[in-house]
Structure 1
Amino acid sequence: MSIEKKPSKLVQHMLLGPIRAFINLRSDIQVVRNDTKGLKPPYVILSNHVNNWDPLILNSYVDEPICYIAGEPLFRHPFLKHVLNYVGAIRKTKFTNDTSTIRNVLKAKKHGRVIGVFPEGNRNWDGYNEPLIYSTSKLVKLLDVPVVFAKIKGGYLSHPRWGDGHRKGKIELTFEQISDQGDFINASIEDIHNRLTEAMHHDEMAWQRDHKNQYISKHPAHYLERLLFVCPHCQTPGYMYSNKDEFRCLNCNYLVTYTPEGHFESINQPTYHLTPYEWKNWQLQFLRENLFRDDLVNVWGDCLKDPVKLYVSYDQQPFKLVGEGTLTWNNQQFDFINSKDQITFSIHQADGINIQFHHKLDFLYHNAFYRLVFYQPRSSAYKWLQVTKQIKKQEGVSHGT
């Protein structure tokens, strides 16, 4: 298989049959609407991105094999590269312009493929859509094919990006065709972007308030500190700690429980925030207002100090280990330090900063591709990403999640 040659129905059934059975065993999947039935390719499927299983979940309910646009770092793993090339995945470097991606997408259209895009660019952390990448609207206009929006509801609650393991519960899928060929020919890119943003919108916790589904796990709060690293009670960063269903501040002993419904309940203090989404929004505001306070330099210095493994890749080759050491923050730069080296990265010179999975911070720096792996399970790559965003905002640059 490849972009040009899609798998036969027999091969597709042999691959997706066991996957669909496994997915249905893990979750209660309900397809509420499916406009792909009878729709002939080429067409585009856009979807919110909440779960590592999203590509397989979607393709289990679409008759045609989906040719997904996939993050370029996945192709640097030798085995994954063969798998992705085999299924016709299209390589894309996140948050950068990549003309080869456009050429391959047009090739997929020419050969009658279904093209799958996650226009947020990455999995969201809290069940609420990340802003759509603006270039998605340009791609939709360029392709001029039918557009189907797939919406996954319950996927975040069944396996939040910060979490440890799957939680069995209900997942609803809808496949809604929002446009046909020719519908966007005379539309501006901004109008298309607004239309896609409206169609894409999903607030998982608002949906959950109406449905009250339960998502069962032995350790539902593990590892919330990957996302939430500032205590709302004592307002100190770096002391949050999860255990089973409890989430506690080791500095002031503030304690909440995380329920199977996906919200917080208070134990010993007020519930400042009912959901991770609300807590995260407060935390981002706290970061904006307090990251550069002179009286908190030592506090942030202690918080921004994590053991990591540093990898580097040149010319799209597999990653090679540079070394294991400690990542620290020093004003406008990150320092990687071990017994042999100190490598300094100027944050303003780092491009395309984003997170793979929950613990791999990737970025381009001086014609090389670097990866910082936060190998301790309670470390937060998300924390480091948000710090870089605050610094980058001084030069008007935003990055991915």
Structure 2
Amino acid sequence: MSIERKPGKTVERLLRTPIKAFIEHRSDIVIERNDTKDMEGPYIILSNHVNNWDPLLLNCYVDEPISFIAADPLFRNPFLKRILNYVGAIPKQKFKNDTRTIRLILKAKKHNRVIGIFPEGNRNWDGKTDPLIYSTSKLVKLLDIPVVIATIRGGHLSHPRWGDGHRKGTIAISFEKVWDAGAFHQNSPEEVHERLTEALYHDEMAWQSEHMVPYKRKSPAHYLERLLFICPHCHVPGSLHSYDDLFECQHCGYTVHYTDFGTFEPIGEEIYYSTPRDWNKWQLDFLKSAMTDPEWQALGRKVMQDHVKLYVSNDEAPFKLVSAGNLWWVSKQVKFQSDMGNDYEFPINEMVGLNIQFHHKLDFYHNHKLFRIVFYLPRTSAYKWLKVIQTRQALDAGKVDIT
């Protein structure tokens, strides 16, 4: 099968039925609205992105098989590539212009496919919709077909990106046809971008403050340090540690309790932030000013050290292991010291297309090669490295809003 030919109804039913049963067993699914029931392709579904299961979750409640735009690295796995090609997925190099992707999307439109796009380009980390990739607005205007906005509520809390497992609770989904073909004829790409940003915005913790749905799991705070890496009490980076339902700074002792509602409660002292979303917003703002402070920079360099595995892919070949080794932050570059004795240096202004796969794989392009740094130790934070690099890049470029 391919973009031109959809999976047959029998095959689709055989695939969809067990997946839907599994999803509805592990979560309480509520379909609040579904405008796709009376629609035929071609049309676009744009959705917020909160969970690994989002593509399957959406396709369980849309009758037509969705041709999703998927990250190019997924196609470098031979097994996944066969599955993705079968269902008509479209490869896209993240955060890079890719004319091949545009051609394949136009082919999908020609063959009356439903095209699925996550305009954030990545799953968000704290439940709030990330800034949309600007090129999505140009694509929507170019395609000139109906646009459905899918909103997933509760998906982040059911499995936050930093977490290590599913939490049973409510996931509410709506599919709203917001625009018909021709809706953007008079709009510039900038105006389309603004309208898409407004339509796709979702704040999980704002929604949770109204609904207060519990999402239960043993040790719910486990691996919060993958997201939160600066203590709000002592401002020391890399000292936070999670266990059971507690999150503690091992430098100053500041500790909070993480609840089944995705909120923090104080333990014996004041609480700085009541949600991971608010804590994360503070730490990213703090990072911008701290990285211009020589004293804090020296402290930060001491904790910007992790043992990792480095992989590389040429052209579209599968990733190959370069070596395990130590990753260091040195001035304005990332340095990898291989256990085999070889060193690799990546100036941050030459690292392009930075993004995280899953929660622990940091991908980027350098000298036309795709590199992958795997943070294989479970408590290390790829997100910390991503945000430090992005902050340094933004400061050097005279930009400050990277969150």
What TM-score, normalized to structure 2? 0.97
- In the TM superposition, residue 303 of structure 1 has moved relative to its aligned partner by 1.3
Give the match for residue 344 of structure 2: 343
Residues 397 and 363 of structure 1, relative CA distance in 2, 3 Å threshold: farther
The one-letter code matched in structure 2 to 1:390 is T
Identity percentage over the alignment? 58
Q: Deviations over 1:51-107 (max 9, x none)?
A: 000000000000000000000011111111111111110000000000000000000
Bigger Cα displacement from structure 2, 92-101 vs 186-195: 186-195
Give the match for residue 285 of structure 2: 285
Please list, as runs of the form range in 1=range in 2, the aligned pairs for 1:178-197 lying within 5 A after superposition: 178-197=178-197
The one-letter code matched in structure 1 to 2:391 is Q
- In the TM superposition, residue 291 of structure 1 has moved relative to its aligned partner by 2.0
The one-letter code matched in structure 2 to 1:93 is Q
Give the match for residue 362 of structure 2: 361
- In the TM superposition, residue 268 of structure 1 has moved relative to its aligned partner by 2.6
Does the 8 Å CA contact 1:389/1:398 hold for their aligned counterparts? no
Q: Is 2:147 aligned against 1:132? A: no
The one-letter code matched in structure 1 to 2:355 is N
Please list, as runs of the form range in 1=range in 2, the aligned pairs for 1:25-40 lying within 5 A after superposition: 25-40=25-40
The one-letter code matched in structure 1 to 2:230 is V
Q: Deviations over 1:185-211 (max 9, x none)?
A: 222212211111111011111100110
Give the match for residue 384 of structure 1: 385
CA–CA distance in structure 2, aligned partners of residues 294 and 151 of structure 1: 43
- In the TM superposition, residue 8 of structure 1 has moved relative to its aligned partner by 1.5
Bigger Cα displacement from structure 2, 62-71 vs 184-193: 184-193
- In the TM superposition, residue 222 of structure 1 has moved relative to its aligned partner by 1.1
Q: Which runs of 5+ in 1 are unaligned?
A: none
Does the 8 Å CA contact 1:354/1:400 hold for their aligned counterparts? no
Give the match for residue 106 of structure 1: 106
The one-letter code matched in structure 2 to 1:379 is T
Give the match for residue 87 of structure 1: 87
Question: Which of 378, 394, 397 is the aligned partner of 1:395?
Answer: 397
Q: Which runs of 4+ in 1 moved over 3 A?
A: 396-401
Give the match for residue 262 of structure 1: 262
Q: Is 2:374 aligned against 1:373? A: yes
Give the match for residue 42 of structure 1: 42
Give the match for residue 214 of structure 2: 214
- In the TM superposition, residue 398 of structure 1 has moved relative to its aligned partner by 9.5
What TM-score, normalized to structure 1? 0.98
Q: Deviations over 1:222-252 (max 9, x none)?
A: 1110010011111110100000110000011
Q: Deviations over 1:127-178 (max 9, x none)?
A: 0000111111111111111000000000000000001100000000000000
CA–CA distance in structure 1, aligned partners of residues 85 and 231 of structure 2: 44
- In the TM superposition, residue 400 of structure 1 has moved relative to its aligned partner by 9.2
CA–CA distance in structure 1, aligned partners of residues 400 and 117 of structure 2: 20
Alpha carbon RMSD of aligned pairs, Å? Answer: 1.3
Does the 8 Å CA contact 1:305/1:327 hold for their aligned counterparts? yes
Tell me, what secondary structure is at the counterpart of 2:38? coil
- In the TM superposition, residue 285 of structure 1 has moved relative to its aligned partner by 1.4
Question: How many residues of Structure 1 are paired with residues of Structure 2 in the alignment?
Answer: 401
Q: Is 2:74 aligned against 1:74? A: yes
Give the match for residue 316 of structure 1: 316
Q: Which runs of 5+ in 2 are unaligned?
A: none
CA–CA distance in structure 1, aligned partners of residues 400 and 338 of structure 2: 30
Tell me, what secondary structure is at the counterpart of 1:389? helix
Does the 8 Å CA contact 2:313/2:320 hold for their aligned counterparts? yes
CA–CA distance in structure 2, aligned partners of residues 351 and 400 of structure 1: 15
Does the 8 Å CA contact 1:312/1:319 hold for their aligned counterparts? yes
Tell me, what secondary structure is at the counterpart of 1:37? helix
The one-letter code matched in structure 2 to 1:256 is V
Residues 176 and 349 of structure 1, relative CA distance in 2, 3 Å threshold: same
Residues 66 and 245 of structure 1, relative CA distance in 2, 3 Å threshold: same
Give the match for residue 11 of structure 2: 11
Residues 399 and 39 of structure 1, relative CA distance in 2, 3 Å threshold: farther
Does the 8 Å CA contact 1:352/1:400 hold for their aligned counterparts? no
The one-letter code matched in structure 2 to 1:148 is V
Q: Deviations over 1:337-379 (max 9, x none)?
A: 1341111111111111111111000000011110000000110
CA–CA distance in structure 2, aligned partners of residues 375 and 95 of structure 1: 24
- In the TM superposition, residue 296 of structure 1 has moved relative to its aligned partner by 2.5
The one-letter code matched in structure 1 to 2:114 is V
Bigger Cα displacement from structure 2, 294-303 vs 97-106: 294-303
The one-letter code matched in structure 2 to 1:376 is L
Does the 8 Å CA contact 2:291/2:392 hold for their aligned counterparts? no
Give the match for residue 58 of structure 1: 58
Q: Deviations over 1:264-296 (max 9, x none)?
A: 001032110000010001101111111232223
